[in-house]
Chains A and B, each alone.
Chain A
Amino acid sequence: MIAVEGLTRRYVGFTAVDDVSFTARPGRVTGFLGPNGAGKSTTLRILVGLSAATSGTATVDGRRYVDLPDPGREVGVLLDPSAQHVGRTGRETLTIAQRFMGLPRSRVEEMLALVGLTAQESSRRVRDYSLGMRQRLGIATALLGDPAVLVLDEPANGLDPAGIRWMRGLLRDFADRGGTVLLSSHLIHEIEVVADDLVVLAGGRVVARGPKADLLAAAGPAADGGGLEQLFLDLTEGALT
């Protein structure tokens, strides 16, 4: 389980994340929604120890991420598919992660097969990868250590419709087998079809959270026509004005 409590990150002149609290539970996909610049990525970076919080805590199964002995085995992370060395081949990129985690070599081929990168594609340099291929490589890296928790930032970006459907099935299946998925996106439809719980962020603050069904029901008739999209716009515009 992921637990974020009172998380705040201030920069000079503005507060990117403002007293954010939520949980992401096992067996459920938690959609992390918000417009651009709402603080989603900053929250996720703090969660995995890439940025420091000004105050508040973020834990995975009760421990800070940086205190996990071999974090790749417990939490699969994909924050930015372009954050890879372009001079490495896709297979080599995975091999590096496999070595850091001390996994058997066979795991690399298994993951390449799982995300649908062919032998020929995985031998090419990441420089020559499309965004969709980088996204698949990032998913492979995240799943490599067979973690129980997934933290993904906009994983559908750059995927074609078939890829998006594949990703949806993968996340659904992962959660149905008891895994925890924290999935950030600004694509409302993607979240709507796959998420069980929602956390909506706007201007660095949580403006709504809870089971998706409850949020939609509480929104009442206003949300009926546009569904989650209308609810999202109502929530986030309200927070910004």
Chain B
Amino acid sequence: MTVDVAPGATPSGYPPIPMRRIVTTEVRKLFDTRSGFWLGAGVGLLALLATAAVAALSSDAGMTYRAFTTAVDYPLTVVLPVVAILSVTSEWSQRSGLTTFTLVPRRGRVVAATAGACVGVAVVTAPLALAVGALGNLAGTSLAGIAPVWDVTATSMLTIVLSNVLGVLVGFVLGVLLRSSVGAVVAYFVYALVLPALAVVLAGSQAWFRTVQPWVDLRYAQGTLVDGTLTAAQWEHLAASVALWLLAPLAVGLVAVVRAEVK
């Protein structure tokens, strides 16, 4: 440094960092690491493979827009929660949080911005999945020489988006709560793969569980979302299970994140 200007000679009294800047930076951080890049590229590749598989393997009657969107949406529902998990946990396991929390010391703002970034990605990718599904439907049916069937209503498109957002939020909350990449990913797959099987067994054998299941089983409530229209009671079930699986653990995790020593 040979410039003869005092360090920090620019006028002081900087404006606070706007939330928008933190959110857009957090979005960039989702995909600028090696793992982030491959998770993003993997989703794209899997979506194309899923489209090809439906076109090649399904019967003429089964080749509908719903079949294509479900197939394309599936890799999103698996990978995006993992992206959300890593967005929080890598700050702790890779210790890059040391820089993040030094540049943005109000940790609640960072956590909120990361949540915003993850939800934003889920909201933007769902219409992409619907578009890829539509292209697949057009291509598949024209190859098979049949008329395309458009059986996804606008309402169920919205519920697909909402369902993807919920999945991402579950990953995000597990990340905030556990702050460990391995722990949170394992917990997510227990939630996504083991708990539903357990719920089926319980519902089959225990009458009391059948009564409470709609209220406490978020994936059950999420399933009703993807299936289409919801009754008022189903919205109440969704709200209850969101409070149980998202809000309560988020509150616990947030307190821990704000208090934790960043080393």
Contacts and interface: CB of A to CB of B under 8 A. Distances in A.
**Most chain B beta-carbon contacts within 10 A, residue among A51, A80, A85:** A85
A174 B1 contact: yes
A224 interface: no
Interface of A: 45, 48-52, 65-66, 68-74, 77, 79-80, 82-88, 92-93, 95-97, 99-102, 114, 125, 141, 146-150, 170, 173-174, 177-179
B106 to A, nearest CB: 7
Nearest to B34: A87
Nearest to A71: B105
B96 A85 contact: yes
**Most chain A beta-carbon contacts within 10 A, residue among B5, B29, B32, B97:** B32
B143 interface: no
Contacts of A86: 94
A87 B101 contact: no
B31 to A, nearest CB: 11
23 contacts: A49-B105, A50-B262, A50-B263, A69-B17, A70-B14, A70-B16, A71-B103, A72-B103, A74-B12, A77-B102, A83-B97, A85-B90, A85-B94, A85-B96, A87-B36, A88-B96, A99-B24, A99-B25, A99-B28, A100-B22, A100-B104, A141-B99, A177-B6
B35 A97 contact: no
A88 B98 contact: no
A48 B263 CA distance: 12
B256 to A, nearest CB: 13
Given A70-B16, A100-B25, A174-B1, A80 B98 contact: yes
Contacts of B6: 148, 177-179
Given A45-B263, A95-B28, A177-B4, 12 more contacts: A48-B105, A49-B102, A50-B261, A68-B105, A70-B15, A83-B98, A88-B33, A93-B99, A100-B100, A146-B10, A147-B7, A179-B8
Contacts of B103: 71-72, 97, 100-101
B15 A170 contact: no
Contacts of A74: 8, 12, 14
**Most chain A beta-carbon contacts within 10 A, residue among B96, B102, B261, B262:** B102
B196 to A, nearest CB: 32
Contacts of B8: 73-74, 146-149, 179
A234 B88 CA distance: 46
A17 B263 CA distance: 16
A96 B105 contact: no
Main secondary structure of the interface of B (DSSP, over half): loop
Contacts of A65: 105
B21 A100 contact: yes
Contacts of B24: 99
Given A83-B96, A147-B7, A179-B7, A50 B21 contact: no
A147 to B, nearest CB: 5
A73 B94 CA distance: 24
B95 interface: yes
B77 to A, nearest CB: 24
Contacts of B101: 49-50
Interface in B58-107: 90, 94-106
A102 B21 contact: yes
**Most chain A beta-carbon contacts within 10 A, residue among B14, B36, B101:** B14
A85 B36 CA distance: 12
Contacts of B7: 146-148, 150, 174, 177-179
Contacts of A102: 17, 21
B105 A66 contact: yes
Nearest to B25: A99
A84 B94 contact: yes
Contacts of B5: 177
A114 B12 CA distance: 24
